[in-house]
Amino acid sequence: MRIAYMLTSLGIGGAERQVVALAEHMAAQGHAVLLIVLKERQAEQWPTHIEVKYLEMQRSPLSILSGIARGRGLLRMFKPDLVHSHTFPANMVARALRLSGATPAVLSTIHNVYEGGWARMLAYRMTDPLTLHTTAVSTAAGKRFVELKAVPRRKCTILTNAIDTKEFAPDGTRRERMRTELAAGDDFIWLAAGRITAAKDYPNLLRAFAQAEAAWPQTQLWVAGEGNPPVCRELQRIASALGIAEKVCWLGLRRDMPALLDAADGFVLSSAWEGMPLVLGEAMAMEKPVVATDVGGVKEIAGTTGTIVSASDSVALGSAMLKAMGQPLEIRLAMGRAARQRIEEHFSAEVRLVEWETFYGAILGCDR
């Protein structure tokens, strides 16, 4: 097969990581693969040996039209059997290119339960005839888009994210090294990770942590992720107002998530909305007890191995964090082992990536 993957950027995020992993898997299987990125090259982005072409689109209509024209030229040279696009902007551009005749087939993937308001949902609905099919990374995301009539039920399939259980595996030596580097001491370390955006609801997390820290002072919260400077400053202001500024470590963008997860004693997700949070699965693969809000596909990935609380409820989130800290070490370790086992059995990259290859063959009507 000849497959062109289209995504908005290659920035450090879960959706981008999944696309790169899938593209590299397909290339390793002997398929011809091309990555097409709508935005310009980012200062920090996922590395890949796959050929990448940048359309360098900006928000102006002229830039968008120019980018579509460049994309059309690229696809006419590459001659893909399929364009597999991810998230709203790339999904719309791929459909426009299908309309222009640049590709015979488009597959769209939805990565979140929320990809915009009614206008975007209408755009999905109106352009759906230009796609062969749409996949969603969680049952929750797929269900919501079907209910909103953005995607027909008959054309929606759930294919969940894949976790690399070889990369995300516990390492005791690495744990000690990272804890020393970040001055963890004997504190209970909570790790949260993800772009600093409204979706992650970090104010909710800070309020929850303040509640837990008041009852258990020997704890720290590490936050790995980048965001707009004004938003980050506001979060730091909130932490100061709550009296926890010295207990919160803002790590910024990190490329060493396995090491950070090794060093942590627990992982916390405070999101207001999600698709299928990749980092939650990674924390589970690293045998960490997890506390998370009940959004998107969180329950689907965590099952009964984590503690799930309502979104936007900092009291419930803080109580769950405190309860996890108070559990005997052997109980936490057992929870972590059960979490990794669940990832290995249901979400391992070795299984999920092969499923994608089979799915491509099915929707293209070929046996490959």
Q: Are residues 103 and 226 in the same domain?
A: no
pLDDT number for residue 368: 40
Reduced to 3 states, what is the DSSP secondary structure of residue 42? coil
**Helix ranges restricted to H, 189-266:** 202-215, 229-241, 257-263
Nearest 10 degrees: CA dihedral of 85, 168, 140, 123?
-20
Give the span between the Cα atoms of 73 and 67, in whole angstroms. Answer: 10
Q: Which tens digit of pLDDT belongs to each residue from 178-196?
A: 999 999 999 999 999 999 9
Reduced to 3 states, what is the DSSP secondary structure of residue 29? coil
Give the span between the Cα atoms of 68 and 74, in whole angstroms. Answer: 10
Q: Are residues 207 and 102 in the same domain?
A: no
Q: Are residues 293 and 333 in the same domain?
A: yes
Domain contains 167: no
Q: Are residues 181 and 154 in the same domain?
A: no
Q: Are residues 15 and 104 in the same domain?
A: yes
Q: Are residues 334 and 187 in the same domain?
A: yes
Domain contains 368: no
Q: Which tens digit of pLDDT belongs to each residue from 283-331?
A: 999 999 999 999 999 999 999 999 999 999 999 999 999 999 999 999 9
- Rounded to 5 degrees, what angle do the CA atoms 78, 80, 81 make? 160
pLDDT number for residue 367: 41
**Beta-bridge partners for 112:** 275
Give the span between the Cα atoms of 204 and 244, in whole angstroms. Answer: 14
Tally of structural domains, the chain: 2
CATH of the domain at 44: 3.40.50.2000
Q: Are residues 342 and 353 in the same domain?
A: no
Q: Are residues 178 and 123 in the same domain?
A: no
The residues, any chain, with a CB within 8 Å of residue 325's CB and separated by 6 or more, are 188, 212, 216, 219, 265, 266
Domain contains 99: yes
pLDDT number for residue 366: 55
Give the span between the Cα atoms of 261 and 319, in whole angstroms. Answer: 22
Global pTM reads 0.89
Q: Are residues 131 and 189 in the same domain?
A: no
Q: Taking a C-beta distance cutoff of 8 angstroms, is the pair 131, 107 a contact? A: yes
Q: Are strands 82-86 and 156-158 parallel, antiparallel or unpaired?
A: unpaired
pLDDT number for residue 152: 97
Give the span between the Cα atoms of 335 and 283, in whole angstroms. Answer: 12
Q: Exposure of 59 by Cβ count < 10 A (0-12 exposed, 13-18 middle, 19+ buried)?
A: exposed
Give the span between the Cα atoms of 276 and 234, in whole angstroms. Answer: 27
Residue 251: which domain range?
Answer: 172-346
Q: Which tens digit of pLDDT belongs to each residue from 150-173?
A: 999 999 999 998 899 999 999 999
What does pLDDT average to in each consecutive run of 10 residues of the chain (368 residues)? 96 89 94 97 90 94 94 96 97 97 96 93 97 95 96 95 93 97 97 95 98 98 95 97 97 94 98 93 97 96 95 98 96 95 92 90 74
